[in-house]
Structure 1
């Protein structure tokens, strides 16, 4: 279960639990091994623990009122309430304390909810989606864009003497006169080709031949293996038009998509996680998008901390 995709809210709750357990005293060898594995099992858990470390460094440990509840094991109502408060504290920590992302400054980046279009020196166009960072390295041999995190739409300009490459931690993609989207998510790279074709080489598996992904196709890959080659969603670039297109999408998946474009957190009650939703939703106005859900589906939206923390519950 540790390697399954999860929402940032769940990662924060898990980080709060580990912070509580660490405050109670020394972990056993097996518990410490479990903790070490947990920290590196997903990007969301890594970021959540970075926030936990930041809280420890700023406050010198848990706030006293929460530290007392940490001693109350096995789980009690008081301890569960303290865990909820701690997870919320991790969520709303001021960005100025160190930031959610612990990365060096990229050549180009966007904040949460922001998009940006670039015209590169060769005339190629790159559109950065929300919370994205790239580096650009052009020389006489190649044109290279490194996607540190996030998602981009690439439209390449012709240059017969220099290949156009997009790299991630999982591999390298060579554009073959094309337009395509690349997103890094859950330790995999997701590629969808809209025009032309893209040749993909894996980062840590030179034995596997490169994969050619043609227009109308999509795939995802880790550093060692390719996923299935499927038909690309025709709305994969809808974010460039300010829209999230849902076609019988699970509500939990819809919430995960909307969270990419807003600060704060949206939590979906498991009772309605599998509710299927459809429609065109504005990504720049999450309040309006959630209002559209309430008008159409049996969902109640409740907010806390001036809308920073939102919960979706069954009506």
Structure 2
């Protein structure tokens, strides 16, 4: 047991050291190779990512109103404690400052624990049950930060896509923010996607209220089976549209469903699930429509289908990407 604790402490120290070293570029090739070798150990990798999450949470909490209020309370507790116990007032200033700093650290630590971050890498999915019984399912290359308080349940979609199954609680609204867009629900099931500055909301069940003050002052109210797309160029004329929800959320079952989607859009969607990308060469009919169901993260079936339909061939590039090219004229 003591050996395990020592090993865990050593891993934490090493992870903290790497986090600090990599935060100050430039980096030599040998250093990056050493980090890659160290991070190959699953325990090292998990601890490094845990410290990364804490660091990100600390950075985002600097300007957070709740954090500022909690920090002020922690400072006040330190001042009150110093006044209450007169011997403390005669102790060295550095000791008093240390006690106040300890209050701040404890407060920040409590906030970090209340703000878990869940994330996935390219090609991964992840599901979690939150403290209130709500469920969140993350798609490929996605991240959310959970911020629950007594009065509301707030989740920030940092990137990617997530499906939410919300436990009903009228006294604690469930709010998902994605950039400037907010989705408010009481008890429902909906999908939110954030790629860059573009946001899309798909309502599977129940009702939600979507607001984006940068687009228009009044919120949109969606019904089950509706979708609202808010691209960065969105205007107040943006309106909800009817959508096939099983197709829009098919990623939760490991598939991608396309119904009359331009080839270029289908390729862009499939590329989200793989580090090796599909590239359309000049001359490929990028606006031709694609319909079909394909496994997410597996390019073979998709490439075989579109190559047959549109008379294409695939060529593996030196960087691992697959380029779809028009078939050359056959010689007689």
Deviation of 1:186 after TM superposition, in Å, equals 4.3
1:258 paired with 2:270, answer yes
* Among 158, 165, 172, the residue aligned to 1:155: 165
Conserved 8 A contact 1:217-1:230: yes
Report if the CA contact (8 A) 2:168-2:188 is conserved: no
The answer as to 2:254 corresponding to 1:245 is no
Contact 2:159 2:196 in 1 (8 A): no
- TM-score, normalised with respect to structure 1: 0.63
Q: 2:228 aligns with which of 219, 227, 249?
A: 219
Q: Hey, what's the Cα distance between the residues in 2 that align with 1:119 and 1:311?
A: 40
Question: Retained in 1: the 8 A contact 2:184–2:210?
Answer: yes
Shift in alpha-carbon separation, 1:248–1:200, aligned structure 2, 3 A: closer
- Higher RCO (CA-CA < 8 Å; seq separation 6+): 1
Q: Which position in structure 1 is the counterpart of 2:242?
A: 231
Alignment of 1:279-294 (within 5 A): 279-294=292-307
Matches within 5 A, 1:32-181: 104=56, 107-181=117-191
Looking at structure 2, the residues matched to 197 and 225 of structure 1 have their Cα atoms a distance apart, in angstroms, of 22
Structure 1 residue 289: deviation in Å?
2.9
Specify every segment of 5 or more residues in structure 1 that has no aligned partner in the other structure, as ranges: 1-55, 60-94, 97-101
1:221–1:274 CA distance, 2 compared to 1 (3 A): closer
Q: By how many angstroms is 1:228 displaced?
A: 2.2
- Supply the distance in 2 between the matched residues of 1:216 and 1:168 (Cα, whole angstroms): 20
More helix by share: 2
Distance 2:118 2:226 in 1: 28
Q: Distance in 2 between matches of 1:225 and 1:197?
A: 22
Aligned residues: 223
C-alpha root-mean-square deviation of aligned residues, in Å? 3.1
Structure 1 Cα separation of the partners of residues 297 and 249 of structure 2: 15
- In 2: Cα distance, 1:171 partner to 1:251 partner: 28
Offset at 1:265? 2.2
Paired with 1:145 and 1:268, the residues of 2 have a C-alpha distance of: 36
TM-score by length of 2: 0.60
**Superposed CA offset, 1:239-284 (max 9, x none):** 0111111222211111101100000222112422122222111113
Displacement after TM superposition at 1:296 (Å)? 4.3
* Whole-angstrom CA distance in 1 between matches of 2:290 and 2:221: 33
Aligned to 1:196: 206
Distance 1:270 1:212 in 2: 42
3-state SS of the aligned residue for 1:271? coil
